[in-house]
Structure 1
Amino acid sequence: MDRTVVAGLDGSPESRAAAEWAAREAKLLGLPLKIVQVWEPVPDHLVQAPLLGAETRHHWSERIPREAAEGLRARHPGVEVVMEQLHGTPADALTKAAEDAELLVLGSRGMSGVSGFMVGSVGLAVVAHTARPVVLVRAGEQAADEHQADPAGIPSAATPYRPVLLGLDASHPDDSVIEFAFEAAARRGTSLRVLHGWNLPPYYVYGLTADLRLHDELVGQHAAALAEVMRPWRQKYPQIEVTEESPSGSPGVRLVDAAREACLVVIGRRVRRSPFGAHIGPVAHAVLHHSTAPVAVVAHD
């Protein structure tokens, strides 16, 4: 089956932003865009309620997706846009829809303040259970947000893309995550910033207060490990400018801070075979909930 870019649409501002991002990515990839709307079964005793009458059901199940598709075709000429309506629980249906997708794009409900969660239970469940890359896009995301500022200091779609940011654990790197980040940078004609954050071992903390040379030694070890991981990828993608950083400190915090200057954040998620719970790891959890840039989560073994 031919690959497509799939975007979930429920009529919310965040899902509309996700559909717009998905259309731009589909154009970069040269792939069709499939807009998926999930219609969750309504209990029989609620079907007759005024808010769930025939007119309302028609509005949500036909008018919104039709108008969304028409708008996407008009704003993104050359991108094939198709609609598909699925039935079932949103998390299960979207996870199923992702199986044959190049990537799945979902909206995140950006809240005000640094403590506001950006990803709901459906998004977390889909990220945790799909084997395909999933991109989370915050509400209000626009094309200009992915680009550098113009001479007036205003981001513009006419300026080059901001760098792609790759969060990498140099001690357990995965080729699929690294390749995804390089390909994303190549499509955009931009640079790649690789960030390997690491925490100091607890038993080193006391010694560091007396010997800062120990800290410098650890920094050097992590920088060397990151450089070794990236060496073959630099050779494979010589056209991509790569910067490597391996600062000490919380990887999640470091990535969230760096995301402010990125067009896309790429992180990995180790596949967990348990069917229960939405286990995505602490770093992915922090980045998904607080990143100001779209986040691509790439599953790997």
Structure 2
Amino acid sequence: MTGCVVVGIDGSASANAAVEWAADDAARTNAALRIVHVREPLANEYPMRAVGIDESLTTHGQNVLAAAAELARARAPGIEVITNLITGAVIERLASAAPGCARSTPGRCPASRHPSARTPTS
């Protein structure tokens, strides 16, 4: 493995597209794929039934990560897939989850291909 590609997800269709793009990129560059879901700290553990989440936010995050990892492995068999459920401010936590990794964000796949959106890998 040479470096990693990190993708932040929220369970949306655009996040799934980002996972597919990131899996392809990881396979192409022989890198690991790190899939990250950040749970807002102020939301606590309570279900958010108003937005269709009937389980605890931790369980919801774990389910979102499991589905994304399955999608990535189906898209690019053989890549190493790492999942992380993190609590905190989304932008800060995604940035801290990606030191030394190329970055991809939900719904922003084409922009991630631009060299300025990537960081060198070791």
Q: Say which one has the larger Rg.
A: 1
TM-score category (smaller protein): 0.7 to 0.9
What is the CA-CA distance between 1:48 and the residue it aligns to? 6.7
- Residue in 1 that maps onto 2:114: 266
Instruction: Give me the whole-angstrom Cα distance separating, in 1, the residues matched to 2:63 and 2:13.
Output: 16
Q: 2:103 aligns to what SS in structure 1?
A: strand
Instruction: Give me the whole-angstrom Cα distance separating, in 2, the residues matched to 1:22 and 1:49.
Output: 29
What is the CA-CA distance between 1:57 and the residue it aligns to? 2.4
- Residue in 1 that maps onto 2:42: 42
Pairs within 5 Å for 1:2-151? 3-43=3-43, 47=46, 50-51=49-50, 55-57=55-57, 60-101=60-101, 103-108=102-107, 136-137=108-109
What TM-score, normalized to structure 2? 0.77
Instruction: Give me the whole-angstrom Cα distance separating, in 1, the residues matched to 2:88 and 2:100.
Output: 18
Q: Output the amino acid matched with 2:106.
A: G
Residue by residue over 1:179-217, the C-alpha shift from the partner in whole angstroms, topping out at 9 and shown as x without a partner, is xxxxxxxxxxxxxxxxxxxxxxxxxxxxxxxxxxxxxxx
Q: Are residues 265 and 95 of structure 1, via their aligned partners in 2, closer, same or farther at CA, if it must alter by over 3 Å?
A: closer
What is the CA-CA distance between 1:56 and the residue it aligns to? 4.8
Q: Output the amino acid matched with 1:22.
A: A
- Residue in 2 that maps onto 1:220: none
Q: Output the amino acid matched with 2:100.
A: D
Q: Are residues 42 and 25 of structure 1, via their aligned partners in 2, closer, same or farther at CA, if it must alter by over 3 Å?
A: same
Residue by residue over 1:31-70, the C-alpha shift from the partner in whole angstroms, topping out at 9 and shown as x without a partner, is 11110110111256x9476448762525521212112212
What is the CA-CA distance between 1:87 and the residue it aligns to? 1.2
User: Conserved in 1, the CA contact under 8 Å of 2:40 and 2:88?
Assistant: yes
Instruction: Give me the whole-angstrom Cα distance separating, in 2, the residues matched to 1:95 and 1:62.
Output: 20
Give % identity: 29
RMSD: 2.8
Q: Are residues 267 and 38 of structure 1, via their aligned partners in 2, closer, same or farther at CA, if it must alter by over 3 Å?
A: same
Q: Are residues 58 and 43 of structure 1, via their aligned partners in 2, closer, same or farther at CA, if it must alter by over 3 Å?
A: closer
User: Conserved in 1, the CA contact under 8 Å of 2:15 and 2:105?
Assistant: yes
Q: Output the amino acid matched with 2:76.
A: H
Instruction: Give me the whole-angstrom Cα distance separating, in 2, the residues matched to 1:14 and 1:48.
Output: 23
Which structure has more relative contact order (CA 8 Å, sep 6+)? It is 2
Instruction: Give me the whole-angstrom Cα distance separating, in 2, the residues matched to 1:298 and 1:74.
Output: 25
What TM-score, normalized to structure 1? 0.34
Q: Are residues 24 and 54 of structure 1, via their aligned partners in 2, closer, same or farther at CA, if it must alter by over 3 Å?
A: same
User: Conserved in 1, the CA contact under 8 Å of 2:6 and 2:36?
Assistant: yes
